[in-house]
Chain A
Amino acid sequence: MNLRPAIAAAAVAGGGIAAYLTYVHYAHVAPVCTTGGCEKVQTSSYAELGGVPVALLGLLAYVAVLATTAVRGVAAAFAGAVLGLVGVAFSGYLLWAQLDPIGAICQWCLGNDVVISVVAVLCVGRMLTEPGPE
């Protein structure tokens, strides 16, 4: 089963969320929010990593995942799986940060959590099934 189109579609969806949050960060505007905590999360110290917005890092990660879908082979599948798993683990850390230290939930982050989980599952599935030399 060729999972690359599904991974690419999920990566585009996640990239869209990350791109919007990156725009919000640099435009100094409040994100559209129905959960009430988006701005609090976006302006917390957890929203940056070494001075770089985590939304931008997420955008770059989704672009990288998308790039792996353009290449056949186990190496590309492995790279996609690592990116997806890193994304899931880091998103889990940020979800903990929202629930505990920040005390606010951002709907965009939750949306990203769902998408990155789908990306990770698909990428791991691809890595396990991608045709290649053994």
Chain B
Amino acid sequence: MHRNRLLLLAAAVAAAVIVVVVLIAVGAGKDSKQTVTGSSPRSTHAQLFNGVAQHGATLGSPAAPATLTVFEDPQCPFCREWNENALASVIVDFVRPGKLKLVYRGVNIIGPNSEQGLRAIYAAAQQNRLWNVVEALYDRQGAENSGWITNSVIRAAAAAAGANGDAILAASSSPSVTAQLRAAAREASAIGLPGTPTFIVQRPLSKPQRLNAPLDASGFESALAAALR
């Protein structure tokens, strides 16, 4: 073998090492999007739901004195933003201590694909995994009305949420799911839902009131704490 070829091999190895070091230094595993590792938002959310009571659309103790009703559309990017940024803090500071329970109200305000997602979400309520599936769908959220909510996505979200995807799809068109969708739509209509997400706080012996709050954790918690006083 000629010495020149061995030098060429050394050059190729050196070039490869340089390229890979640069690739690793600038990117892979370091972006700011959600990750499934470490203390990422996604894994934190998964841990947050563990040990928190779920009954149908309600997250938290049924005996909690106050209720936060959350109107969301699975295609809504601001709903996703709230789920990613504020939900964890609300669960830790209000739901786990038994001060508050959350009630999900899924409404279709964006397009037909939302209904497919909402049906899956309400079907997951039958397995007491509604909030987990909502979160898992937001993890996979695509552009509005791009048709991203497919059976495959629902199955993947269900798997990530620890739910039975086949059972969810089978129950999606059931009368009980349809009834929950209609009930949520009626409730939204009754309050004149301006958009999603919309938050309604109800304290004991008080009328429900709309919570206007920023979607970040500290801003939302401050507004929520004030509303609960």
Q: How far is the CB of B138 from chain A (nearest CB, A)?
A: 12
**A16 on the B face (CB < 8 A):** no
CA separation between A127 and B47, bound complex, in Å?
Answer: 51
Interface contact A45-B29, CB-CB below 8 Å: yes
**A81 on the B face (CB < 8 A):** yes
Interface contact A30-B28, CB-CB below 8 Å: no
Q: How far is the CB of B91 from chain A (nearest CB, A)?
A: 22
Interface contact A81-B9, CB-CB below 8 Å: yes
Interface contact B5-A127, CB-CB below 8 Å: yes
Interface contact A44-B36, CB-CB below 8 Å: yes
Give the residue name and chain of the A residue nearest to B153 (CB). Answer: A28
Q: How far is the CB of B113 from chain A (nearest CB, A)?
A: 12
**Interface size of A by Cβ–Cβ distance < 8 Å?**
35
Q: Which of B4, B16, B36 contacts A134 (CB 8 A)?
A: B4
Interface contact A30-B156, CB-CB below 8 Å: yes
Interface contact B28-A46, CB-CB below 8 Å: yes
Give the residue name and chain of the A residue nearest to B160 (CB). Answer: A39
Interface contact A81-B12, CB-CB below 8 Å: yes
A101 in contact with B38 given A45-B33, A48-B31, A127-B12 (CB within 8 Å) = yes
Q: How far is the CB of A118 from chain B (nearest CB, A)?
A: 16
Interface contact B35-A44, CB-CB below 8 Å: yes
Interface contact B142-A28, CB-CB below 8 Å: yes
**A114 on the B face (CB < 8 A):** no
A51 in contact with B31 given A44-B36, A102-B37, A128-B1 (CB within 8 Å) = yes
Residues of B within 8 A of A81 (CB): 9, 12
Q: Which of B19-27, B71-79, B177-185 contacts A (4 or more CB under 8 A)?
A: B19-27
Interface contact B156-A90, CB-CB below 8 Å: no
CA separation between A88 and B30, bound complex, in Å?
Answer: 20
Interface contact B159-A39, CB-CB below 8 Å: yes
CA separation between A29 and B156, bound complex, in Å?
Answer: 7
CA separation between A28 and B142, bound complex, in Å?
Answer: 8
Interfacial residues of chain A within 34-82, with CB under 8 A of chain B in the complex: 39-40, 43-46, 48-51, 54, 74, 78, 81-82
Residues of A within 8 A of B (CB): 27-30, 39-40, 43-46, 48-51, 54, 74, 78, 81-82, 85-86, 88-90, 93-94, 97, 101-104, 124, 127-128, 134
Residues of B within 8 A of A (CB): 1-2, 4-6, 8-9, 11-13, 15-17, 19-20, 23-24, 26-31, 33-38, 40, 139-140, 142, 148, 150, 152-153, 155-156, 159-160
